[in-house]
Amino acid sequence: MVESDKHAPETSPADSAAAPVVPPDLAETVSRALDEDLQNGDLTASLIPEATRSRARIVTREDAILAGRPYAEAVFRRLDSAARLDWFATDGDPIRAGETVCEIEGAARALLTAERTALNFLQTLSATATAAARYVAAVAGTGCKILDTRKTLPGLRLAQKYAVRCGGARNHRTGLYDGILIKENHITAAGSIAAAVSAARRISSAVPVEVEVESLEELGQALEAGADIIMLDDFSLADMAEAVARNRAHPRRARLEASGGVNLGTVGAIAETGVDYISVGGITKHIRAIDLSMRFE
Per-residue 3-state assignment (H helix, E strand, C coil) for 280-291: CCHHHHCCCCCC
pLDDT of residue 15: 57
Asked about 233 being catalytic, the answer comes back as yes
Element (H, E) at 180: strand 180-182
Choose, from 32, 61, 96, 116, the residue flagged as catalytic: 116
Asked about 6 being catalytic, the answer comes back as no
Q: For residues 21 and 227, give the distance between their C-alpha atoms in angstroms, rounded to a whole number.
A: 29
Asked about 145 being catalytic, the answer comes back as no
Q: What is the CA radius of gyration of the chain?
A: 23
Q: Please state the pTM of the whole predicted model.
A: 0.91
Question: Which residue stretches of the chain have pLDDT < 70?
Answer: 1-18
CA geometry: angle at 217 spanning 211 and 218, to 5°?
A: 15
Distance from the Cα of residue 152 to its chain's centroid: 8
Task: Find out whether 104 and 83 touch, Cβ atoms under 8 Å.
Answer: yes
Bridge partners of 294, per DSSP, are 58
Choose, from 93, 99, 214, 233, the residue flagged as catalytic: 233
Residue 156: DSSP 8-state: -
Choose, from 91, 212, 218, 276, the residue flagged as catalytic: 212
Asked about 53 being catalytic, the answer comes back as no
Residues 6+ apart with CB under 8 A from 39: none
pLDDT of residue 8: 35
Residues 6+ apart with CB under 8 A from 31: 78
Q: What is the pLDDT of residues 34-53, one digit of tens each?
A: 999 999 899 999 999 999 99
Task: Find out whether 75 and 34 touch, Cβ atoms under 8 Å.
Answer: yes
pLDDT of residue 10: 38
CA dihedral of residues 90, 285, 138, 3 (deg, nearest 10) = -90
pLDDT of residue 13: 53
Choose, from 53, 57, 150, 183, the residue flagged as catalytic: 183
Asked about 161 being catalytic, the answer comes back as no
Question: φ, ψ for residue 30 (rounded to 5)?
Answer: -65, -40
Task: Find out whether 169 and 147 touch, Cβ atoms under 8 Å.
Answer: yes
Lay out the sheet containing 100-107: strands in order across: 84-87, 100-107, 53-60, 292-296
pLDDT of residue 9: 36
Task: Find out whether 215 and 17 touch, Cβ atoms under 8 Å.
Answer: no
Choose, from 151, 246, 253, 285, the residue flagged as catalytic: 151
Of 196, 188, 263, 273, the closest CA to residue 227 belongs to: 196
